Structure 1
């Protein structure tokens, strides 16, 4: 794939607009051309609207020419996961059960903030049906593939978002993360992604998965995600669970470095089996933080795998998401999703309360852990990307996606900020991610550490070689 303006980061694009060396229309055209060239191979987008995208870019170009840009992302291409409502575009959530012929006149809070800051929306990205699993394929939109190897999965459920960033069709893409759905595809697709503290980014309508569900950006650089969170964290009264906006932008301390930070490294969280090649790459990456002046200690949080409690919460949310569907519409669902929903519907209120108690204890334990450590490092994924179109790797003894992503869902239960950094490639050329976890509300600290790693070990010089 040849270089073009759409491959630049958001911050580079803004600098070029300011200098007059690029225009938002040039960049939007390049992004749309790239989608037309590469998307048949990866299937990252389920909706592209060139006329609207170019019209928004033209308005941005006029503002820049007049020296009057408005907002932090004026003219920057951004894509949106097809879980988030976007005015004028249908939000079908990868499902035949959503009627496209209805009024689409509401923006989700994240989309509303992007418009206020004059981002140029290039399209909507694919998701598994109703965002229910850690890979991206659906009855409506088919299989989304990994840009580094199109026989492999891009991850999920924000797999379209990660593929969009990796292929240079938008420097920022907005995803959702209820059990790893930003970090899984970030790791598999070789991009940066962060799940912020729950409530930092308002959400409307409320997710059926409740307070497990976070909104977060994926991007080619850490700086771009920090910029995106400064935008997305704008308040919205429709989300009664959202926290207050941070007193300072999360990007404010981005260049502060990690010298003196107390960082724990847990290669297995005490219970995970990790592919040896992944483990070696992550171990090497962790040494970077010591080189940068942090005090890194090999230690596991005293936790056990909360997967059974997570299943109660997650499957109940899935069941709630289809509760109003007729039998005819249910018959059109992904069969595995229907199976999960049936399991969720069989759980009692007492089961749900017991699972919530497990979640509360996990949160208490991690809160105490972070009194000793500023950050926790783990692999993002215990394995590299596997074959596209299946929920679990071939030969797996387990049926569900949670069996291969044990490093991610615990931190949805605790609502902590957690990011995935690209930290190397396997011998077969597949990306591997390093997870950086912070205590609640320490999003700026997580981003600062990620930025320090990015400066020391930049990954931006290598792109997928899609023709």
Structure 2
């Protein structure tokens, strides 16, 4: 029963809290125990706020006992916050030795909205240094591992959030996505992640002005992801890019009968692992069984998309990171972070401009195609996952006997950061023979968030969900000791 509480969905937990058959205290206690048990194996959390989380859970329990109806949307729901999102008075490290003692002075808008909605922040999740890679390990926090197979990465940069959800350490978790950092771990860990359209969820300067950047929700179900997204989204007076009005979505289970769905297995230029291909085709068969017409399309995209994305990422993100390449801080950086920062120094304004032309050409094919189809589907990752300690500054990634780019040659996510106004929902598509999950991306027309959630709900309902029974959950060896740092 304790493990069942760890995997209780937010939607079901809210129902159970209201009818008093489960207490928020019981869920928080179970998940804190689960964090302790997996700290030396999965290593998904950087800080745990046990005492204050239990105090907040008791307050939530008291609220559920009242009859005035003043319950908030996420009342009593355990939520893990990525260790890059500021919480005033709490250490936020960004996965870096440089910030190991950095106490945040403010709270990120999306985090404040979760808190105001009644979410209980009981832990912080690990991230690669400065969230700059698709794997999660750092000199500060060590290696975070995939709960389904500890030899593999949970993805990144929101890898701690993905691992925490898969391992039952939390009910909800937040992430951020500048090249796939929500969808990569969602796929590798077998959970759900949403990259909202640019501006839907507010962010902080300067990255609120980078159209590649998208804060968003992660959960174990589509409905939970939608519930969390409804809280996080909306205009923010501190973010000029944030959209008006606030979009409030209701779960639409009307189905997708008669829909037209386009798909591509490789986006025209990716090498694809055979098990990813197999699981993607099986997922497409589910959509067919729901009454949709499914057809393969050729977008005409080429490897130039990869070069364009790297140019954009180096120009803004890399140039920001290069500010740390001074004598006092450069030697503290993790190898891949230093490599990325140094690479940014060679990027030119002309290359950045060329990347914008490339993005425009990509949408010139995707946009008209989406006018003829309701959604577009492709794999989330070209392989189930890479090694847990993969270092793209020195390690190779090989697919079908061919070496691919060690950072962006295996995540099929960044094209939709380039086409940033398209909502993208990543959902599980199965598991590979090594036990690691695979995923698909459901891509919608610009700002058509409801469409991807409708498709995701129909697909999820057809499969019966993903974590309902013990056989649907990873088996993670427990550890007796607690390696996590606990902050009061």
1:395 deviation in Å? 5.7
Give 1:231's aligned residue.
Answer: 231
Match of 2:203 in 1: 203
Q: 1:266 aligns with which of 264, 267, 273?
A: 264
Over 3 Å counting, the alpha-carbon distance change for 1:354 and 1:399 in structure 2 is closer
Q: Does 1:115 align with 2:115?
A: yes
**Equivalent in the alignment of 2:44:** 44
Q: How far off its partner does 1:101 sit?
A: 4.5
Would you say the 8 A contact 2:382–2:410 is kept in 1? yes
User: 391-400 or 410-419: which moved more?
Assistant: 391-400
Deviation at 1:160, TM superposition (A): 0.2
**Residue 353 (structure 2) aligns with:** 353
Instruction: Report Cα offsets for 1:312-356 as digits up to 9, x if no partner.
Output: 111221221341663220111112221221221222223222222
Aligned residues of 1:46 and 1:124 also touching (Cα < 8 A):
yes
Q: Number of matched residues?
A: 463
Aligned residues of 2:161 and 2:174 also touching (Cα < 8 A)? yes
* Preserved contact between residue 93 and residue 102 of structure 2 (Cα < 8 Å): no
Normalising by the residue count of structure 1, what TM-score does the alignment of the two structures yield? Answer: 0.95
Aligned residue in 1 for 2:337: 337
Unaligned runs of 5+ in 1: none
Task: List aligned pairs for 1:368-387, cutoff 5 A.
Answer: 368-387=368-387
Q: Which residue of 2 aligns with 1:412?
A: 417
Q: Would you say the 8 A contact 1:208–1:318 is kept in 2?
A: no
Q: 454, 458, 465: which is aligned to 2:460?
A: 454
The equivalent residue for 2:244 is 244
Distance 1:366 1:298 in 2: 13
- Pairwise CA distance, 1:121: 0.6
Q: Matches of 2:427 and 2:208 in 1, distance apart? A: 28
**How far 1:309 sits from its partner (Å)?**
1.0
Runs of 4+ in structure 1 off by over 4 angstroms are 392-395
Q: Which residue of 2 aligns with 1:432?
A: 438
Aligned to 1:464: 474
CA drift of 1:49 comes to 1.1
Alpha-carbon distance in structure 2 between the residues aligned to 1:297 and 1:42: 39
* CA deviations over 1:172-198 (Å, ceiling 9, x no partner): 110011111111111111111111111
CA contact (8 A) 1:319 1:340 kept: no
Q: Find out whether 1:402 has 2:408 as its counterpart.
A: yes
Q: Which residue of 1 aligns with 2:254?
A: 256
Check whether the contact 2:80–2:170 (CA below 8 A) recurs between aligned residues.
yes
Instruction: Quote the Cα distance in structure 2 between the aligned partners of 1:232 and 1:208.
Output: 15
- Paired residues for 1:362-373 under 5 Å: 362-373=362-373
- 1:153-302 superposed matches below 5 A: 153-207=153-207, 210-247=210-247, 249-250=248-249, 252-302=250-300
Shift of 1:358: 1.9
**Is 1:80–2:78 an aligned residue pair?**
no
* CA spacing shift, 1:209–1:38, aligned 2, 3 Å: farther
**Superimposed CA distance per residue, residues 246-274 of structure 1 (whole angstroms, 9 cap, x where no aligned partner):** 45x22x24212111211101111111221
* Alpha-carbon spacing, 1:18–1:445, altered in 2? closer, same or farther (3 Å): same
The alpha-carbon deviation at position 209 of structure 1 amounts to: 8.4
What's the CA shift for 1:398?
Answer: 4.6
- Report how far residue 437 of structure 1 moved: 0.9
2:124 counterpart SS class = strand
Range moving further from structure 2, 365-374 or 40-49: 365-374
Query: Is the CA contact 2:318–2:343 (under 8 Å) kept in the aligned structure 1?
Result: no
Shift in CA distance, 66/30, structure 1 to aligned 2, threshold 3 Å:
same
Q: 1:365 to 1:244 in 2, by over 3 A?
A: farther
CA distance in 1, matches of 2:351, 2:433: 44
Taking the aligned partners of 2:268 and 2:354, their CA distance within structure 1 comes to 23
CA displacement, residues 1-56 of structure 1 (integer Å, 9 cap, x when unaligned): 96232210001110011001111112111111111111221011011111121122
Across the aligned residues of Structure 1 and Structure 2, the Cα RMSD in angstroms comes to 1.8
